[in-house]
Structure 1
Amino acid sequence: MPSDRAAVRRAVLAVEGHIGDLVVERIVAEIPAYRSLDVRQLAEVRAIALWVLRRFLDLWVDRAELSPDDLLRVRGIGAARAADGRPLPSVLRAYRVAANTAIDRIVELVEPMLTVADAIAFTRLWLSSFDQLTESIYEGYSVSAERLTADRDRAVRDFFDDLLAGRQAHPGAAADRSRALGITLPSPATLLLAERNEGARLAKELGVGESALVTARGPRAVLLMPALDDAVVRKALDAVGCRGCAIRPPRADTLVDAYRLATLTLDLAPADAYEGGPLLGESDGHALALLAGHPAEPEIVARHLLGALLDPGQEHVREGLDAFLAAGSATTAAANVGLHPQSLRYRLRRVRELTGRDPRRSWDRFVLGLGSRIAASLRTTEE
């Protein structure tokens, strides 16, 4: 009498989580290339192994074969591994280890439920399908690797576009793809969004050469490069004759947020925001985001808008700034707080030194005033 294949499938799927954990454990133990994977990447390995297991069980129960869609999905997995830079022999070996581990555990679990004929049918299905799987992995991997090698510049640009869109946001995935492309993501970095699509010219003016990632988004150029002083970026923008916004993302996985903030800044910045030159920055972006109604933590916004003015020991400088913002002139402000005009002007110079903003310019005065109001409200709440 044939065994109840559906019952066997249910028995195996009841413990599929245990099988998935066992497969990952065995792969990591036997294949050195997989020992450096992070938690997210190992979770992906586990998810793929369980998908293959479920498909084989379904095919065995239904007496069917792998479909073209199944093989297309496997080719995609092979292509992704090429982009990650994982060695092909290690990838193929991982599938063999997973297959052997899963089969051994399945036999232990359901051997009493299987007839000899059904056990042989399961083994034959696994072997024949495994050949198809490995061929598809090889094909997807080879095509992807060939494209990466043949058009490296395009591959690097595609990678940068993925980072900007958040498609390679996880640090482990970004590191894998960087290694495959033979590049190093700058850290610390500057992300520059320029109004004109002059990425190559800007890179030359900035002196960053091949150390920068460059792409275009519509009429704008986007560059990711080693952290540069704002004065250097301003000079390059002046040379090219365009405006821009520079953000310093803390990590590759926050690049998408930096790009969105830079885009919002250039989209919404009023003309007087450029009184101090062609370059806007993170504090401009946060002020504009707040005006646009984007939710934000007040403490974080205040720190971005006022910077070192919030540091301990700068209370007298903030007091002078607040007086000037309220009065509109240094002379009147000095009189209002009982200071000599020169003392107040000194404090305003310190504001410029600490923030890079001149409270005499309309946009800078607005940003400093907004930050000062937020800081004051936070102090009132604390009291």
Structure 2
Amino acid sequence: MRELPEYRKEGADPQAYAETLDYAVWFRRRTIECVSEDRQLDADDLSLIGSIGQQRARGGFSVHTVRRVLTLHADLMLRECYDAVEGHDVQELLRLTAWCGAQGMRGCAAYLQAYMDEQHLRLSVATRVRTLTHLLLTGDAIAASLARGLGVPLHDRYLVVVVRMPGGPFGRAETAHDDLIARVYGDHLVPLSWQGPNELLVLVPHHGPASSSPVSSSPPVSHGDRLMRLVRDIVERLDRPCAVGTAAGPVNALDRTAELARRVAHVAPVETTPRTLSGVADVFAELGAAQLPEVDQWLREIARRLASGPDLVRTLDAYYRADMNRLTAAAALHIHPRTLDYRLRRVRDLTNVDPSSVRGVRILSTTVARVSAGAWT
């Protein structure tokens, strides 16, 4: 009651308070019986523990509270074990703590599974998917129980995909957000959640090598087509241009991986139909420029000069996407190669930078990428 607001509310009801106290006393008495007889918790014990978890779900207790109460209970039990032997009998203390460790895991599993099973009946698919995504991002062990209820296998590594929508928020009500989550989950069976009114985060199983760095050009070829279908489906449902950032990492560090993917998404190109799923290796220059106001201002001035020419930013974008192949770039732009040559000369005249030089690629491609990301709108 002191630590958790939801238990303060529970304690205000005399009957609920008495039931909670009875359960705490029962568990301690049962511990003494089982330890003295060297027995495990039996099926009836686990069923009773599960019924408490079920009651908490019916009472609307949050996942955070359920996790915290198990931690508090374990902490108090271990302190009481020490007090019971008065700090003298080390063998008895070890026997008590060993029993609590082994049986505590079984008890927690029964409690959580019953809680999650009840949540399955009470909560919408979107709410459970959002909760699962949050638990995975925070590294919470409860995620496994919720994933089982949703029928989602968990993985050791994930590719975190952040879809950023410039402009106003998507939809006019929370129901629009939940509807999109439920539909995307139903079609692709991946955890996803809104991280703000303009940002959707998706967790995709990552089958790259365990030693691979998150600073890599994104996703593995093995599931690149599936990932592109997923992202395009999301952007089509959002019905607006989006930027996509990705980063891969282990399941026990997804919070840091998500932050990296978010930073990538903020410098990635905004596209109506995604053609690129950017990773750090794809936008490292833009990330650096965004962190240095002086560099960003310098590139902005170059972009301002390019704006005075005939479609020069789009021309450079096509030119660099074609790996500076003149014929391929001209075909993509639907212009004659000589027209392309004229535009490239115009770029050089306006910026004093040759777009076909190493220096030109570094400066102008970064400028075009910042324009495409909507950095200066």
TM-score (norm 2): 0.38
Higher normalized helix content (fraction of residues): 1
